[in-house]
Amino acid sequence: MEGQLRTGVQTIDHIAIPVRDLDANQDFYLDTLGLKLKTRRLNPDGSARQAYVLAGENIIGLHLPGVSAGASPSSGPRIGANVSEQRFTETEKKLKAKGHPYRGPIEHPQGSPLRVSIYFDDPDGNHLELCVRRGEPRSECISHTVFETRDLKRAVAFYTGALGTGAPVPCGAEVMLPVQSGQMIGLVEVQELSGRTKKHGRGCHMAMDVAQEDYDLMLSLIDVHGEKNQGDPRAEDGLRPAGEMSIYFFDPDTNRLQITAHAPDQPEEMLPDEEKWRRIIENRKKQGRGLTRWESGGKKIV
């Protein structure tokens, strides 16, 4: 294969996780963790579908209808958010005052990209971590995500070879793969994938930004590693801005990922719900596809 990735993954952009109780989880992320609400997204019938909360500029999307699997017995899948020392202390006090179980603070050894962490679950059993980092990025953001893998060597080869991450950095029982921004993709080896990893499916994915110059080669490298490419349903539904390229796919352990190459000088585009559903319905009719009953508020649209 000709060519070499120019930069590999540039940043972790956002992550989506399934929840069964949107209001309870939104309150937890806002009131207890102190994150900010970006928006709530609605179904065509006006019922709630998603809530987007912000860790710095990174979206953590809370998506209905959630999964029935219990909390994972391993340390993954997990979202780690970087916060200031003041926010870290305030959040620990809130967790303690509310009687919400947590572990820590855990001091990380010298040489670790993280200085201190606390670990806990949201109301639906999604593993979370708040940390204070030693190095960049120091601003509030998604610091890292941790995925389960049955074969650490194979998973590392996929992320470094197909996505161009940095070499693995040991972090306790996990390894961290840095991307250009300093954010990290973590891996924890398990004998058997948890129900959370297996059942997250469409409701959970991590989105990464890549350079336009890397996009086509990265698609080829994903294919070389034999991982499943799901295409881009948002483009099929007419929801991508002009010039943006994006694709959804799985890593070797069925963790759902997304890479996006934004167009030069592309402004952020978040369509109003009404316009989003208008485009979806119009494009699916043209393509002879239909909305699911859940997407259409209980009525099949064809």
Distance CA 183, CA 169 (A): 12
Closest CA to 37 of 29, 48, 45: 29
Cβ-proximal residues to 288 (8 Å cutoff; 6+ apart), any chain? none
pTM (predicted TM-score): 0.90
Six token digits for residue 204: 């959970």
- Read off the DSSP letter of residue 198: H
The domains found in the chain, sorted by start residue, are: 11-270 (3.10.180.10)
**Chain centroid offset of residue 9 CA:** 14
Residue 43, pLDDT score: 84
Instruction: For residue 274, give the 3-state DSSP assignment.
Output: helix
Supply the DSSP string of 226-238, one letter for each residue: TPPEEE-HHHHTT
Distance CA 284, CA 210 (A): 28
Per-residue b or e along 161-189, where b marks 16 or more CB atoms closer than 10 Å to that residue's CB: ebbbbbebeebeebbbbbbbbbbbbbbbb
Residue 32, pLDDT score: 96
Residue 40, pLDDT score: 93
pLDDT tens for each residue of the chain, 302 residues long: 456 899 999 999 999 999 999 999 999 999 999 999 999 988 888 888 899 999 999 999 999 988 888 899 999 999 999 999 999 999 999 999 999 999 999 999 988 899 999 999 999 999 999 999 998 898 999 999 999 999 999 999 999 999 999 999 998 899 999 999 999 999 999 999 999 898 775 567 899 999 999 999 999 999 999 888 877 777 676 667 778 899 999 999 999 999 999 988 776 767 777 877 787 788 788 777 766 655 555 554 43
Distance CA 177, CA 85 (A): 24
